Amino acid sequence: MNTTVTRSLAALALGLFVTSPSQAQDAGKVDFEKQILPILKESCFKCHEKEHEENGKVKKPKGGLRLDGAAAIIKGGKEYPDENVVAGKPDASWLVKTMALPESDDLAMPPEGKGDRITPANIDLIKKWITEGANFGAWKGVE
């Protein structure tokens, strides 16, 4: 085998098996901070942020789920701890499963009447991000 072929094969093998954070910036991969975070900010943050005061009232994250930090997103909420985002498994990840439920479902997110449905294109994007390993890159968010 000539060296060029050997080198490309080695590069390919690395690309397939190495999943260090730097690989998250690979061209073609979904970028959490640029592409996913804005969706969560827009549609989910008002109910799923760290406990804080608003107009003199303490606001707790609904369902015990915070979506404003990487560690919190992985930790998940009360009903589905550790199953909010399961890397590699979008069908096991409640973050995106709840978005895809029919609006009438009790667990549909955002809840009925509390915001626009997430578009199918954005749901696919989030699923792709989870399939690719749910990598947050350098983003940590609120600890």
User: Which residues contact ligand HEC by CB under 6 A?
Assistant: 43-44, 46-48, 62-63, 65, 76-80, 84, 94-95, 98-99, 106-107, 109-111, 114-115, 118
Which of 94/132 has CB closer to ligand HEC?
94
Which of 11, 107 has the CB closer to ligand HEC? 107
Report in angstroms how near the CB of residue 11 gets to ligand HEC at its nearest: 37
Tell me the closest approach of the beta carbon of residue 21 to ligand HEC, in angstroms. 24
Minimum CB–partner distance for residue 19 and ligand HEC (Å): 24
Cβ pair 98, 108 in contact under 8 A: yes
Q: Measured between alpha carbons, how far is 71 from 58 in angstroms, rounded to an integer? A: 22
Choose between 94 and 136: whose C-beta lies nearer to ligand HEC. Answer: 94
Going by C-alpha positions, the residue among 91, 67, 62 that lies closest to residue 78 is: 62
Burial tier of 66 (Cβ tally within 10 Å: 0-12, 13-18, 19+): buried
Q: How far is the CB of 134 from ligand HEC (least distance, A)?
A: 14
Helices (H), 23-111: 37-43, 70-75, 94-100
**Residue 20 neighbours by CB under 8 Å, 6+ apart:** none
| Number of residue whose CB is nearest ligand HEC | 77
